[in-house]
Amino acid sequence: MIGRLNHVAIAVLDMEEALKVYRDTLGGIVSDKVAQPDHGVSTVFVELPNTKIELLEPLGENSPINKFLERNTQGGIHHICYEVDDIIAARDQLVANGARILGDGEPKIGAHGKPVLFLHPKDFLGTLTELEQA
């Protein structure tokens, strides 16, 4: 079912500080910062030869990463995202296996403009896991 690792998302308190680490210290190739008001975050992608790191900064008062940043006050890895060929088939197979999908179970359009689902961390080794239609 799972294909490529699309990205690893790191929640950060301050994007300028995150860029100092990933662009200046680690020498990564970074995208422009993009506000994603529908998702309550601003994003920067670090382009690696084989995948991406997604830096997430809270946007607005009800950002979905606020709670994570309250528990992880220096930031940290927030989720990983795998590509799947058919997100509906993947979801149905996971649910048949007893796994839980976050939210109403219907794919939403994610930060990359493609349908995504988030799987319950308790069913996936304590790891918030996103599936994205390839």
Q: What is the dihedral of CA 20, 50, 11, 111, to 10 degrees?
A: 110
Does 3 help bind a second copy (rule: CB under 8 A)? yes
**57 assigned to active site:** no
Among 30, 41, 59, 94, binds a second copy (CB under 8 A): 94
Restricted to residues 48-87, the positions that interact with a second copy (CB under 8 A) are: 48-51, 53, 55, 72-77, 80, 82
Cα 82 to chain centroid, rounded: 10
Does 101 help bind a second copy (rule: CB under 8 A)? no
C-beta of 53 vs 111, nearer to a second copy:
53
C-beta of 29 vs 109, nearer to a second copy:
29
Nearest CA to 32 out of 40, 24, 42 is that of: 42
54: amino acid identity, one letter: E
Does 100 help bind a second copy (rule: CB under 8 A)? no
Largest CA distance in the chain: 46
Quickly count: other Cβ atoms within 10 Å of residue 133's Cβ.
18
User: Does residue 31 contact residue 53 with C-beta atoms inside 8 Å?
Assistant: no
Residues annotated as catalytic are 130
| Interacting residues with a second copy (CB under 8 A) | 1-5, 8, 10, 12, 17-18, 21-22, 24-28, 48-51, 53, 55, 72-77, 80, 82, 94, 97, 99, 121-127
